[in-house]
């Protein structure tokens, strides 16, 4: 009987997880990834990627509802990911997070469908506001 109850509990937890909204955070800075985990990890199904290639694998397997995306990363950068999303016609809300202050980069990101653009250091209240607005 206890075994049966354990299965029921496990099934219930799985169902609850499926009801939550999924957020993908892509950044090569582990500190940023950890900050998002502390900030949003208890309210959303949070998935983290340390580089663009890992992000593309996640986007193909199980696209999130919202993605916080760093622009400057080694290898496949944020602009490359945005272009791929546009080519594949994937509907993912994207918020760019970056430490750079280049107007050209910001304009290019906005032309690729970004819903918001946040500069580092990040404002935790802005992150919470955006997640709440987009995922409600």
Choice between 99 and 17, residue whose per-residue pLDDT is larger: 99
Q: Is the dihedral of CA 50, 85, 127, 96 positive or negative?
A: positive
**Is residue 101 over pLDDT 80?**
no
pLDDT for residue 103: 82
Residue ranges of domains in the chain? 21-135
CA distance 125 to 6: 38
Q: Which fold has domain 21-135?
A: Rossmann fold (3.40.50)
DSSP letter for each residue of 11-34: HHHHHHHHHSPEEEEE-S-HHHHH
Helix, strand, coil share of the chain (percent; to 5): 50, 20, 30
51: its two tokens: 């580089």
Please state at what angle helix 124-135 crosses helix 30-40, rounded to 10 degrees: 60
Note the pLDDT tens digit of each residue in 77-88: 999 999 999 998
Closest CA to 96 of 115, 83, 77, 80: 115
Of the pLDDT bands very low, low, confident and very high (cuts 50, 70, 90), residue 52 is very high
Choice between 122 and 10, residue whose per-residue pLDDT is larger: 122
């Amino acid at each position: 009987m206890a075994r049966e109850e354990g299965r029921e509990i496990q099934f219930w937890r799985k169902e609850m997880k499926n009801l939550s909204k999924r957020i993908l955070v892509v950044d090569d800075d582990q500190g940023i990834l950890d900050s998002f985990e502390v900030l949003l990890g208890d309210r959303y199904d949070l998935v983290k990627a340390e580089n663009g290639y890992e992000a593309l694998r996640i986007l193909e397997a199980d696209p999130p509802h919202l993605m916080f995306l760093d622009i400057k990363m080694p290898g496949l950068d944020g602009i490359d990911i945005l272009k791929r999303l546009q080519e594949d016609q994937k509907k993912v809300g994207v918020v760019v997070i970056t430490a750079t202050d280049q107007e050209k980069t910001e304009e290019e990101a906005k032309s690729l469908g970004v819903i918001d653009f946040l500069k580092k250091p990040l404002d935790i209240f802005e992150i919470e506001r955006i997640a709440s607005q987009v995922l409600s």
